[in-house]
Amino acid sequence: MKHFVLAAAVAALVAAPASAQTLKTVKERGSLNCGVSQGLHGFSISDDRGTWSGFDVDFCRALAAAIFNDPGKVKFVPLSANERFSALTSGEIDVLSRNTTWTMAREVSDGLSFAGVTYYDGQGFLVPAALKVDSALELGGKSVCVQAGTTTELNLADFFSNNRMTYDKVVLPTAQEALQAYQTGRCSVLTSDISQLYAERLKLAKPGDHMILPDIISKEPLGPAVRQGDAQWFNIVKWTVFAMVNAEELGVSSATIDEALKSGKPDVKRLVGTEGDYGDQLGLSKDWAARVIRLVGNYDEVFERNVGTASQLGIPRGINNLWTNGGIQYAPPIR
């Protein structure tokens, strides 16, 4: 068994001699190369001056803060859905933070490793508030607009049949036409991934007249991915995400980081680096997480300002709440 593990480790080193050096390469280069979407409201979008912002963007800024103590040392590489994986495996980018769903195939055949789930997305329903329903379970008999040939269409059929409800399906070739059909009243319900529904809702004449139901009928866990073969780099990305979630749970934010550095609570001390040498062991500094929290914020801050109720999208935390608040965001402890 030991021999096998050793052989596998050697094989991995031989197969990817350069890839095990990501941190070193990034430090030498002086900036992080981060793959993002070509423009998705709230997640990654660039303004007129070429400044990137968004939920996915902030996780790359957090990595830069942890490594360089400077969230600005990131080069953002906008990528199409087709280019994103090869950009990562070829070494063009160091990390992919582009609303990408964690699936098995992407790990076992595309050579990616997902470092965590920063956003639990899933299929949901947009309805006019005037419809007066609180739950997708009350949509029986309604007409539903859906984009053709997608898993969305299949999930929709499963959901209604599993809950013994009937519906009229209105199938449209594109997402845009589906929204249009919903707007003109050809259907009373629109279904898609929830993050997308929030963005679509903004395009409606009176967004406030429409609501997204709390039900989630499919799993779309989104998170940052790295290429396989560099355990140190994988740990850095993974624990940066975990540190942000743990910071929220411990009540440490960019506003309270100075107090936190003086805290006597053991779990806070381990997080901000006043106890232990977890940062050194990652190949970073003791205060790596404190830098992230000070310069970018904890998970809650990043969520709220980009996609949350403090943003234009207005997505409630919902399932992305901490596990202690009814959601499923949960980070292993730093210890």
Partner 1 sequence: MTKDYYSVLRRATSALAPSTEEARQAVYDRARLAIMDADLPSEQTRSERAALEAAIERIEADADQAGRARLQQEAAARRPPVVAAAHDEHGPTMPALSRPVLVGAGAAAIALLIVGIAGAVYWGGRTDRPAPAPATKAPAVVADRATAGSNQELSYVFKRQLVYYRSIHPVGTIVIAKSQRFLYLVRPDVVAMRYTIGVGRECANAAGLLVISAKEGGLKEPRLAAASGAGADPAAPWLNLGDTGHRIFGTNPPLVSGGDGCFRLVNEDAIDLYDRVSVGTRVVIN
Give the binding site for partner 1 (CB under 8 A).
134-135, 137-138, 140, 162-165, 214-216, 318-319, 323-328
Q: Least Å distance between CB 155 and partner 1?
A: 16
**Nearest Cα to 102, choosing from 119, 123, 90, 83?**
119
CB of 116 to partner 1, least distance (A): 19
Minimum distance from residue 328 beta carbon to partner 1 (Å)? 7
Are residues 292 and 244 in contact, defined by beta-carbon separation less than 8 angstroms? yes
Structure tokens at 134: 């609180």
Of 159 and 233, CB closest to partner 1: 159
In whole angstroms, give the CA distance from residue 189 to residue 145. Answer: 6
Among residues 231, 263, 242, 256, which one has the least CA distance to residue 334? 242
Q: Which is nearer to partner 1, 261 or 319 (CB)?
A: 319
Measured CA to CA in angstroms, residue 172 lies from 127, 147, 152, 315 at distances of 17, 5, 12, 25
Strands, E, within the chain: which ranges? 32-36, 45-46, 52-53, 74-78, 95-96, 112-114, 119-121, 123-128, 143-147, 168-172, 189-193, 210-212, 220-222, 225-227
Report d(CA 197, CA 199) in Å as an integer.
Answer: 5
User: Closest distance between partner 1 and the C-beta of residue 253, in Å?
Assistant: 22
Q: Shortest distance, CB of residue 301 to partner 1, whole angstroms? A: 22
CB atoms within 10 A of CB 328: 13
C-beta of 90 vs 163, nearer to partner 1 = 163
> Please, which residue, 9 or 137, has the CB nearer to partner 1?
137
Q: Is the CB of residue 287 less than 8 Å from the CB of residue 273?
A: yes
Shortest distance in whole angstroms from residue 194 CB to partner 1: 12
Comparing CB distances to partner 1, the nearer of 310 and 328 is 328
Nearer to partner 1, 36 or 197 (CB): 197
In the structure encoding, which two tokens stand for residue 334, read together? 């730093």
**Strand 189-193 relative to strand 123-128: parallel, antiparallel, unpaired?**
antiparallel
Nearer to partner 1, 237 or 322 (CB): 322
Task: Output the smallest distance, CB 132 to partner 1, in A.
Answer: 14
